[in-house]
């Protein structure tokens, strides 16, 4: 069997699809399982040589380029290359675990006789492009993914703990970046403003953690990151900023003793790597999108939060009610499991 998985992005979504794919790989190790992913997230699936614990090959869908310059020659070439790759691979089964119109169009490039997706995808038009639609089962997206992939393949799947690739340069870099233990990583960013706990509170929290003996870092994708800079400033220098890409973040997180963040990719990465964590939730429902993995976890969500996936910038009113003292208490509780 040659199977193609569509879960192009983002970080947390790829990580939430991996437990199902890992379970299938363990159940059918002789099957070839490939994946279409945005280049930004490929380090979650394969190392620098293109080898992964559960995935055979990744096909790159450079959606950032496509969105930036839809009609430009580089975009046309990028899409054409991907189309040729997928058609040439001759997949027996294509499974869209994303459920957007874009992912469904990309899946159609493969021209597989079996193209499966949810009956109620995130974007309803996507369902018109599938050859087979399946009912969404389960509450958490990890369970939903396992049910979808299991039904599509005829293999009963229980989501499995994932193994992430290692890149030697990233592991070497992380060893040098960790200056003291225990280390706490703060994930202060988020997909949109409503999900972001205030940077000033992260800074105050960082001061409290530093006083308790933690080396406190905030991970950022670039050195001019606005949120990370605000956290460092609010901490009075107690928090230091660490700039890293996804491969570097994986290696850094392997060495973390504690993680604190909102509903974002780094939080789900920490969960996958069994880092003790505190998740700060507001407009998204942790029963559906909460951190999933084998480690010790505590999720804080105020009762006044209302589930909404609207990408608004104003902070969720419930998330704004979570105080530093509450987060610190939860952090000390989960960190004691590792320290």
Spell out the SS3 assignment of the chain.
CEEEEECCCCHHHHHHHHHHHHHHHHHCCCCEEEEEECHHHHHHCCCCCCCCCCCCCEEECCHHHHHHCCCCHHHHHHHHHHHHHHHHHCCCEEEECCCCHHHHHHHHCCCCCCEEEECCCCCHHHHHHCCEEECCCCCCHHHHHHHHHHHHHCCCCCCCCCCCCCCHHHHHHHHHHCCCCCEEEEECCCCCHHHCCCHHHHHHHHHHHHHCCCEEEEEECCCCCHHHHHHHHHCCCCEEEEECCHHHHHHHHHCCCEEEEECCHHHHHHHHCCCCEEEEECCCCHHHHCCCCCCCEEEEECCCCCCCCCCCCCCCCCHHHCCHHHHHHHHHHHHCCCC
pTM of this prediction?
Answer: 0.96
* pLDDT tens digits, one per residue of 40-71: 999 999 999 999 999 999 999 999 999 988 88
Domain containing 184 — which CATH number?
3.40.50.2000
Residues 54 and 95 in one domain: yes
Residues 64 and 109 in one domain: yes
* pLDDT tens digits, one per residue of 179-224: 899 999 999 998 889 999 999 999 999 999 999 999 999 999 999 9
* pLDDT tens digits, one per residue of 298-307: 999 999 999 9
Residues 186 and 323 in one domain: yes
Which domain-ending residue is among 106, 123, 153?
153
Total structural domains within the chain: 2
* pLDDT tens digits, one per residue of 325-335: 999 999 999 99
Residues 322 and 173 in one domain: yes
Residues 140 and 207 in one domain: no
pLDDT tier for residue 339 given thresholds of 50, 70 and 90: low
Residues 144 and 189 in one domain: no
Residue 159 lies in a domain: no
Residues 78 and 102 in one domain: yes
* pLDDT tens digits, one per residue of 117-135: 999 999 999 999 999 999 9
Range of the domain at 197: 168-335
Q: Span 269-279, mean pLDDT?
A: 98
Residues 190 and 117 in one domain: no
Residue 337 has pLDDT above 70, yes or no: no
């Amino acid at each position: 069997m040659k199977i193609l998985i569509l879960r192009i992005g983002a970080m947390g979504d790829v990580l939430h699809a991996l437990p199902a794919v890992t379970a299938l790989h363990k159940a059918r190790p002789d099957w070839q399982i490939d994946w279409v992913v945005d280049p930004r997230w490929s380090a979650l699936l394969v190392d620098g040589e293109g080898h992964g614990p559960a995935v055979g090959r990744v096909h790159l869908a450079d959606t950032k380029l496509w969105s930036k310059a839809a009609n430009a020659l580089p975009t046309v070439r990028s899409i054409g290359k991907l189309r040729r790759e997928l058609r040439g691979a001759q997949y027996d089964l294509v499974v869209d675990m994303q459920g957007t119109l874009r992912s469904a169009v990309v899946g159609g490039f493969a021209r597989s006789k079996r193209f499966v997706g949810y009956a109620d995808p995130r974007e309803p038009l996507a369902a018109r492009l599938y050859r087979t639609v399946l009912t969404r089962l389960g509450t958490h997206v990890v369970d939903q993914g396992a049910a979808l992939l299991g039904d599509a393949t005829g293999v009963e799947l229980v989501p499995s703990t994932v193994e992430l690739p290692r890149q030697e340069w990233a592991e070497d870099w992380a060893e040098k970046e960790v200056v003291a233990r225990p280390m706490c990583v703060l994930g202060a960013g988020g997909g949109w403003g409503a999900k972001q706990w205030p940077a000033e509170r992260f800074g105050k929290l960082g001061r409290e953690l530093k006083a308790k003996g933690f080396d406190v870092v905030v991970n950022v994708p670039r050195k001019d990151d606005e949120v990370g800079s605000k956290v460092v400033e609010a901490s009075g220098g107690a928090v230091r900023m660490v700039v890293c890409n996804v491969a570097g973040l994986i290696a850094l997180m392997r060495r973390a003793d504690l993680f604190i963040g909102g509903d974002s990719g780094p939080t789900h990465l920490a969960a996958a790597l069994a880092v003790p964590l505190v998740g700060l939730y507001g407009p998204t429902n942790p029963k559906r999108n909460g951190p999933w993995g084998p480690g010790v976890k505590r999720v804080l969500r105020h009762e006044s939060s209302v589930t909404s996936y609207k990408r608004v910038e104003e902070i969720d009113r419930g998330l704004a009610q979570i105080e530093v003292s509450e987060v610190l208490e939860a952090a000390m509780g989960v960190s004691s499991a590792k320290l």
